């Protein structure tokens, strides 16, 4: 992929720097503002962690530095995806104080989107004809940046906002079977949830696969950072929903939506599978009662991804996993490689390797 990126540069658009997917078989690059821009640098950091080879360190630094201006971008909730998956991984491996400063500023920028009355961080600024104050389940993943900022600074305001958002989401985003809606709209005057929809799933009441994966992973992370048993129980409940769902295929790579109408003739989502595997491996370290089952399921997912969902070596412009689904209702990124699928796959492999 490092050799393919220069070939994919668009004349007159030097701001297109980070690989996101394949579009009509060609490598699609995105700007630093794109929500997925931090995943490729994160992959390079993981390759450096795995190998210790300085070539990956140099590449990771190069592609991480391209995101520096995003620390000030208050127009998005995706600061964790962009900055923690890149600078956060870089800081963990290098202890570069410049990275830490950028992460702290990124967290400060993120909390400007917090509304105390509703108790959540706003997700999207677009779609104002559809939502007043939308919050998506994906936003739970960005809380890890706020927990990190608390560790770096000792300022508990980051922690309080993260916990408040997690608690509000736990209250409003989940159904009785522990599946989640994708988007919850809030009334910031009263703080109440006024509408619940599933924008990237099959229907409002369906279980969009990657949304379930985000919830599983994020509440596991929240338990790690807080020790709050409510988060551990939530993660366990989501895991049970996913792993025992009748539409989960034998190879444990979910369809893009657990309730998609054309199962078994529906696209899979390897990205959701990779996030689930990584989340389950961490969750197994906190759940003695379920550890064996979680590790067995995660191992099965990784075996499936590594045998049936991998690109040929040197193929697919350097992407690792095939068969992910980005936004099927929007007819966007269906059955293609995606950078976040590769990121969480590498993370899951490293977590598997480092299991106690």
Q: Residue 319 phi/psi, 5° resolution?
A: -65, 150
Q: Is 155 annotated as a binding residue?
A: no
How far apart CA 349 and CA 194 sit, in angstroms, is 40
Choice among 78, 185, 257, 342 that is catalytic = 78
Task: Determine whether the annotation assigns residue 210 to a binding site.
Answer: yes
Q: Are the C-beta atoms of 242 and 220 separated by less than 8 Å?
A: no
Instruction: Give the HSE-up count for residue 60: Cα atoms under 13 Å, Cβ half-sphere.
Output: 29
CA–CA separation, 339 vs 81, rounded Å?
Answer: 12
Catalytic-role residue among 34, 138, 185, 257: 138
Give the 3-state secondary structure of residue 246. Answer: coil
The question of whether 78 is a catalytic residue gets the answer: yes
3 marked as part of a ligand binding site: no
Please, what is the end-to-end C-alpha distance for the chain in angstroms? 33
251 catalytic per annotation: no
Residue 92 assigned as binding residue: no
Angle, helices 97-110/143-153, rounded to nearest 10 degrees: 120
Bridging pattern class, strands 183-186 and 134-136: antiparallel
Residue 251 annotated as binding?
no
Closest CA to 286 of 221, 354, 213, 353: 221
Active site amino acids: 78, 138
Binding residues for substrate: 78, 138, 198, 210, 214
Binding residues: 78, 138, 198, 210, 214
């Amino acid at each position: 992929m490092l050799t393919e990126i220069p070939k994919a540069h668009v004349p007159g658009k030097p701001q297109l720097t980070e690989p996101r997917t394949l579009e009509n078989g060609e490598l699609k690059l995105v700007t630093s503002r794109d929500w997925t821009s931090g995943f490729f640098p994160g992959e390079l950091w993981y390759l450096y962690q795995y190998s210790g080879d300085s070539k990956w360190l140099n590449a990771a630094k190069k592609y991480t530095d391209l995101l520096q201006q995003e620390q000030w971008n208050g127009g998005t909730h995706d600061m964790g995806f962009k900055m923690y998956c890149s600078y956060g991984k870089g800081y963990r491996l290098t202890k570069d104080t410049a990275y830490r400063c950028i992460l702290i500023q990124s967290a400060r920028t993120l909390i400007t989107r917090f509304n105390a009355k509703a108790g959540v961080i706003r997700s999207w600024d677009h779609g104002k004809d559809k939502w007043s104050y939308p919050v998506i389940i994906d936003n739970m993943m960005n809380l890890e940046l706020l927990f990190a900022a608390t560790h770096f600074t000792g300022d508990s305001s980051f922690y309080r906002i993260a916990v408040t958002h997690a608690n509000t989401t736990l209250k409003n985003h989940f159904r009785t079977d522990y599946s989640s809606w994708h988007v919850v709209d809030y009334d910031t005057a009263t703080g109440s949830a006024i509408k619940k929809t599933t924008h990237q799933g099959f229907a409002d009441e369906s279980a969009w696969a990657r949304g379930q994966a985000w919830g599983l992973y994020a509440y596991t992370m929240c338990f790690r950072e807080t020790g709050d048993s409510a988060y551990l129980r939530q993660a366990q409940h989501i895991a049970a929903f996913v792993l025992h769902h009748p539409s989960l295929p034998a190879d444990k790579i979910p369809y893009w939506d657990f309730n998609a109408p054309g199962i078994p003739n529906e696209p899979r989502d390897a990205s959701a599978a990779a996030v689930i595997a990584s989340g389950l491996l961490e969750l197994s370290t906190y759940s003695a009662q379920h550890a064996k089952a979680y590790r067995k399921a995660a191992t099965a997912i990784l075996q499936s991804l590594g045998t049936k969902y991998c690109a040929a070596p040197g193929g697919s412009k350097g992407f690792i996993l095939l068969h992910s689904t980005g936004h099927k209702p929007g007819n966007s990124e269906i059955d293609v490689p995606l950078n976040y699928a590769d990121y969480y796959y590498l993370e899951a492999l490293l977590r598997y390797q480092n299991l106690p």
